Structure 1
Amino acid sequence: MENFKIDVDADGIALITFDVPGRSMNTLTSSVMKEIPELVERIKTDDAIKGAVITSGKASGFCAGADLGDMAGGVLSGGGDLQKAFDAGWKLNGAFRALETSGKPIAAAINGLALGGGLEFTLAAHYRVVENDNKIQLGLPEIKVGLFPGGGGTQRLTRLVGVQNAMMAMSEGKSFRPNDAKGAGIVHEVVEKGQSVEAAKAWIKNGGKAVQPWDEKSFKLPGGGPYHPAGIQNFMVGNAMLRKQSYGNYPAVVNLMKAVYEGAQVPMDAALRIETRYFIKTLMTPQAQAMIRSLFLSKQELDKGAVRPAGVPKSDPNKVTVIGAGMMGAGIAYVQALAGIETILIDQTQEAADKGKAHVEELLKKRLSRGQLTQEKYDALLGSVTATTD
C-alpha cells in the first residue's frame, strides 16, 4: 500500500502509520479510500494481528479530511446516475464500518489535528487517544463548505454525545481542543506528546473491547431519540434554530438534521446508508458545488499564487507598515506578527498608535493564557510590533 505502513510487534499489535506520499498533510484521497478496505481485510484475516493502532506519520497532523476535489469528481462523474453516485459516496462509509466490525480491537493514536473525514476515521476506532497539544483540533467542519459529515460522523458522534451536542457541533462546524474533546466524550484519553501510540497499545493489551457501544444490545442513545420525551425536544427546538440560522438557504443543515433524525431510529448499518443518501443529495446541490468551488478549490489555487502575473516572482515580505492603528489596523498588525512579519503600526498621534499596540498585546495575552504561546514567543511577537507616528 502507498498510504499505509504496517508494523506488527511481538504482542501482535499492528501499528498502522497513515502517511500519504508527496503531501504535507494527510487527506482522504481516492487512493487512500481505495486502500482502506485492503487495510481492513489485512487486519481481519491476518492471524498474527491481535489488534491495531492507527496513527499519522505526518508532523503536521493526523488527517485534514477528505479531498473535496476528488470526492466531488467521483460522485458527479456518474452523470446524474444516483446508484453510481451512492456507490462512490459509500466507499468511505462502508470502509469505516468494516473497520469497526473487523472483530479485533482498533485504537486511534491521534498525534495531530483530525478534522472532517479525519475525525470520522478515528470515530470508527473502538478507542481514541489524543496528545495534549493545543495546536490539535478535532471537529467536523463540513458545514462550512456547504456539506455535512458523510463518513459516519452524523451517526457515530450522535451516539457518543447525544443529539443536542452532536447537532450543535456539526451545524456550527465546531472544533475541540484535546481536553475539551475528552470532556465532551469524543475521545477516551488525553496523554502527553509522543505517548499516544503507547497508550493506545496499552488499552489493547489490557483487554480492549472490539465492539462499538452502538453495536451492543444494551445501547441507549444519550439524551434519548426522536420518540423519547426529552429527545424529541432536540428536534423541535433544533429545527427552529437551524431555520433561524440558515433561512432555508443551505440544504446541508436541513439534510444534516434529517440524517440524524432518521438515523437515530435504526441500527447502525441502515443509519449509515441513510447518511450517505442525504450526503450525496447535498453534494449534488448547486449551493454545495458553489461553496466547494469558492471556499475550497479556488481558495487553494489563490493561496498557491494562481493570480500572480506571469514572470513575477513570489514575494515574502518580512517588514510591513500598517497605516492607521484603529481596531482594523491593530487586528492586521496582530495577524502579521503571528505570521512572523515585523510590523510598523502608524497613526497620527503616539497615543493612538500605542492604543493599537495595546490591542495587539491583549490578543496575544489571550493566546498566552490558553497555553498557545510560550512566554518567550509572546515577548518576541509583541516586540515585532512597533507603534509610532513615523
Structure 2
Amino acid sequence: MEQPSAFHLQMRLDNVAVITIDVPDEKMNTLKAAFAGQIRQVIQRARENPHLAGVVIISGKPDSFIAGADISMIAACDSAQRASALAKQGQKMMSEIAALPFPVVAAIHGACLGGGLELALACSQRICTPDDKTRLGLPEVQLGLLPGSGGTQRLPRLVGVPVALEMMLSGKTLRPRQALKIGLVDDVVPQTILLETAVALVLAGQKSRPRLPVGKRLTNGPLGRALLFTLATRRTRAKSRGNYPATEYILSVVRTGLEQGSSSGYAAEAQAFGDLVMTPESVALRSLFFATTALKKEHGAQAEPRRLRAIGVLGGGLMGGGIACVTATRAGLPVRIKDISAEGINHALKYSWDTLGKKVKRRHIKPAERLRQMALISGDTAYRGFQQRDVVIEAVFEDLALKQTMVAEVEQHCAATTIFASNTSSLPISQIAAQAQRPENVIGLHYFSPVDKMPLAEVIPHAATSAETIATTVALAKKQGKTAIVVADRAGFYVNRILAPYINEAMHCLLAGEPVGVIDNALVEFGFPVGPMQLLDEVGIDVGSKIMPILQQAYGERFAAPEAFAAILADNRKGRKNGRGFYRYSTAALSRKKRVDSRIYPLIKVKPKARLEGALIAQRCVMMMLNEAVRCHDEQVIRNARDGDIGAVFGIGFPPFLGGPFHYIDRLGATMVVNTLVNLMHQYGERFAPCDALRRMAEQNKKFYKTELASDTHIDSVA
C-alpha cells in the first residue's frame, strides 16, 4: 500500500507554488528515504504551470520545519556502502532543488536541524521566525556522524569556512538572530507574515548571493585556508582527544570540497558518512539517542501524572535555588521557596536573577522576559501559600531527623494530595517516609549540581510510594528539562553508588604516589569531561565523605574510603565551594585557571611521582565502576541497562562515545571485563573481584543489549 505523501502542493493565483511538508501521523517532520520521489513529483506538478514564479517550502507542523533525518534509516544500514548510498540519495535530492531555474524560498518556523537545514541550504533563500522554538543547526556530530546530504559543502560557501566548521564540529544550534547575523538566513519575520514574506521574495526574483565579508573570503585562499585548518585541527583534537572520529572526517571533507571542487567534496562526504555509520562510536551515540528518546515517552509508572500547577521548595541554598530556577524558567511553573531566614530566600532569588541575567546579556531573552520569569518565584519564612502546592521539593541538609520534620510540616500545612519529594543524595527514602501520615506521597527526587546544567534526575520511590506519585514526579522532572530515570530505594541509589568506587580507586592511585594532575588527565584522555579529583572538588569533598560511610555500611569494605579522606577534611578542604581541595581556586577574575594544590601531598604523606601508565589508571577506575554497575543491574536498582547507561552518561559524564557502562561492557565482551578484573584483583586486591552476575554473563556469553536500539526518530536536540 502506497504511503500518503508528506508534501502537499497549493498553487496560488500569483503563480507561486507553496509546498507544505506535513509527515502523516508524526508530531514533527523528519526526512525519510521515500521523500525523494515524493518531492520530485510535487515539484514536477508545480512546473506544469507555464507561468510558475517560484516555490515556497513551509511546514504544516505547529512547532517544527524539519527536525532532521529519520535515524532508523541509518540503523538499518548493515554496511558502509549502504550508508553511503543513503547519503548519495540525499545529495541528489538536494542538488535537484538547488538546480531549479526559479526562486525556492524556505520559510522556517521551529526546528530546522540536520537534513532539514540541508534542504533549506539547497534553497535559493531562507527566512525564519524569531520564535524561541526556531533553531537551526547541523547536530550530526553528536551522533558520531557528519551532514550527509550536501551540508558539508553548501554551508561553508554560504557562511564562510570558520563559522561552518564551528557549527558542524560542535553540533550547536543557532537562534534566529544568530542565524541572521552569520548569513544563514536572509530575514527574520513574525510567524504571522512568514508565508507572505516568502512569497514576496519569490515574486521579487532570484537574488544573487551576497559576497562573503573580506575576513571570511581570506580563509578561502590557500594560505588562509592552511592556517585555518591547522588551528581547527589542533583545537578539535585537544577537545576530542581522538575519541570522536566524526570531527576528523568533517575537517577532511570540508577541505576536500574547497581544494578539489564540489563534486569531489560531495563524493568525500558520502564516503565519510558511510564509514562513520559503521564506527563503534556512532553506534554508541545513536544507542544513547534512541534510549533517551524512548525514555521521554515513559511515565515511570503505570499511572497518568497529575496536572501540575504550582511547586514549593524547602531550602534556599545552592540546590534549592537551582531547583527553583529550573522550575520557573523551564517548567514555567510558579514556585515558592521556604527558608528559615530571609537571607536564604534572597540567595535563592539571586541564583535565578543571575542565571537569567546571563541570558539577557547574550540576548537570548529580553529584560522584560527576565522580569516575567522572576515573577514566578516567591519566598517566605513560613508556609504561607503552600496549601496550593502540588509538589514540595525538599532541599535541606543531609540530616534524617530534619528531613522527617520537613515531611511532618508539609503534611500539616499542605493539601492531602501534595507530593513530598526529597532531594537527598544518600538517605533512604523509606526512612525519610517512616513517620509520614501519607507515605504514598513521599518520593526521592535527586538532582545533580549545578541543577541548571546537569541533565539527569533520579526518581526514587520507596515501597509505599503510589504509582501516581511516581508518574507525577517524573512529569515534573521532564518539565524542568531533566532526563529522569526511576531507581530503587537502595543506599547511594544508582549514580552515586557507581561513582563511589571510581573515586575511591582514584584515591588509591593518589596514595600510591600518582600526582593529582596525572590521575585526572588519564581519565580525561579516556573520555570523561573532568578527572575524578576535579569532580570530587566540584561535588564537594565534604559531600562525598558523608555518602561513603552509608555505602560502606550497606555494601561492605569495598566502599571503605581511604584514610586520606579524613586528613583532607580535617584540613577544611571542601573543594571549589571554599576554594581549597585537590586544586586551588582563585576568585580573581583574571585567574580562573585551576592549579593542583601541592600542599595536598604532605597532608596525605606521599611524595608525588608518576609511575603508572595513564591507560592503567583509567582502567583501574573504570573497571570498578563497571563492576558496580552490573551489581546494580543484577539487584534491580535500575530497571534496565538502558536506564543505567543514561544515568552514567548524563549523571557523571561517562564517555558518551562508549554509550554508557553496559554498552561498553557489550562492546568489550563480558569475558574480557572479567579477565581484566581478575588481573587487577591479583595486582591490587580483592576489591576488584568480578561480581557473580558478571561472571555468569561471561560463562553464558550474554550481552545486555540483543541488538542496537532502534527508533523511527530523528536528529533533534541531541545534546
Q: TM-score, normalised by structure 2?
A: 0.48
- Contact 1:250/1:287 (<8 A) preserved: yes
CA RMSD of aligned residues (A): 2.7
- Contact 1:13/1:49 (<8 A) preserved: yes
Q: Which runs of 4+ in 1 moved over 6 A?
A: 211-214
Matches within 5 A, 1:293-308: 293-294=287-288, 296-305=289-298, 308=300
Correspondence 1:343 to 2:335 = yes
2:264 aligns to what? 270
Letter of the structure 2 residue corresponding to residue 302 of structure 1: L
Change (3 A) 1:143 1:25: same
Q: Report the more deviating stretch, 189-198 or 148-157.
A: 189-198
Correspondence 1:223 to 2:218 = yes
The CA distance in 2 between the partners of 1:83 and 1:132, in whole Å, is 40
Match for 1:202 among 200, 203, 211?
A: 200
Q: TM-score, normalised by structure 1?
A: 0.86
2:134 aligns to what? 136
Letter of the structure 2 residue corresponding to residue 300 of structure 1: T
The CA distance in 2 between the partners of 1:379 and 1:235, in whole Å, is 44
- Contact 2:339/2:381 (<8 A) preserved: yes
The CA distance in 1 between the partners of 2:210 and 2:232, in whole Å, is 25
Q: Deviations over 1:240-294 (max 9, x none)?
A: 0110110000011111111111122233333222212111211221111111111
Match for 1:334 among 315, 325, 330?
A: 325
2:63 aligns to what? 60
1:112 aligns to what? 110
Please state whether the residue corresponding to 2:303 is helix, strand or coil: coil
Matches within 5 A, 1:61-76: 61-68=64-71, 70-74=72-76, 76=77
Matches within 5 A, 1:139-158: 139-158=137-156
Letter of the structure 2 residue corresponding to residue 244 of structure 1: A
2:346 aligns to what? 354
Change (3 A) 1:23 1:16: same
- Contact 1:62/1:110 (<8 A) preserved: yes
Please state whether the residue corresponding to 1:28 is helix, strand or coil: coil
The CA distance in 2 between the partners of 1:83 and 1:300, in whole Å, is 27
Please state whether the residue corresponding to 2:218 is helix, strand or coil: coil
Match for 1:24 among 24, 27, 34?
A: 27
The CA distance in 2 between the partners of 1:141 and 1:67, in whole Å, is 13
Deviation at 1:67, TM superposition (A): 2.0
- Contact 1:159/1:222 (<8 A) preserved: no
- Contact 2:85/2:270 (<8 A) preserved: no
- Contact 2:218/2:224 (<8 A) preserved: yes
Deviation at 1:159, TM superposition (A): 0.7
The CA distance in 2 between the partners of 1:374 and 1:17, in whole Å, is 36
The CA distance in 2 between the partners of 1:314 and 1:33, in whole Å, is 41
Give unpaired runs (5+ residues) of structure 2. Answer: 383-719
Bigger radius of gyration, 1 or 2? 2
Deviation at 1:384, TM superposition (A): 3.2
- Contact 1:40/1:102 (<8 A) preserved: no
2:121 aligns to what? 123
Please state whether the residue corresponding to 1:264 is helix, strand or coil: helix
- Contact 1:54/1:109 (<8 A) preserved: yes
- Contact 1:162/1:223 (<8 A) preserved: no
Deviation at 1:314, TM superposition (A): 3.1
- Contact 1:354/1:388 (<8 A) preserved: no
Deviation at 1:389, TM superposition (A): 4.5
- Contact 1:40/1:95 (<8 A) preserved: no
Please state whether the residue corresponding to 1:175 is helix, strand or coil: coil
- Contact 1:111/1:193 (<8 A) preserved: yes
- Contact 2:257/2:263 (<8 A) preserved: no
The CA distance in 2 between the partners of 1:157 and 1:382, in whole Å, is 39
Please state whether the residue corresponding to 1:344 is helix, strand or coil: strand
Letter of the structure 2 residue corresponding to residue 301 of structure 1: A
- Contact 1:345/1:386 (<8 A) preserved: yes
Change (3 A) 1:374 1:14: farther
Letter of the structure 2 residue corresponding to residue 360 of structure 1: S
User: How many residues of Structure 1 are paired with residues of Structure 2 in the alignment?
Assistant: 373
Correspondence 1:3 to 2:1 = no
Deviation at 1:54, TM superposition (A): 0.6
Letter of the structure 1 residue corresponding to residue 281 of structure 2: Q
Deviation at 1:183, TM superposition (A): 1.6
Letter of the structure 2 residue corresponding to residue 329 of structure 1: G
The CA distance in 1 between the partners of 2:138 and 2:314, in whole Å, is 38
Percent identity among equivalent residues?
Answer: 32
Correspondence 1:233 to 2:235 = no
2:620 aligns to what? none
Deviation at 1:372, TM superposition (A): 3.6
Letter of the structure 1 residue corresponding to residue 8 of structure 2: K
2:249 aligns to what? 255
Change (3 A) 1:267 1:40: farther
- Contact 1:17/1:55 (<8 A) preserved: yes
Letter of the structure 1 residue corresponding to residue 354 of structure 2: E
1:387 aligns to what? 379
Please state whether the residue corresponding to 1:229 is helix, strand or coil: helix
The CA distance in 2 between the partners of 1:16 and 1:59, in whole Å, is 16
Letter of the structure 2 residue corresponding to residue 19 of structure 1: D
The CA distance in 2 between the partners of 1:138 and 1:53, in whole Å, is 18
Change (3 A) 1:244 1:43: farther
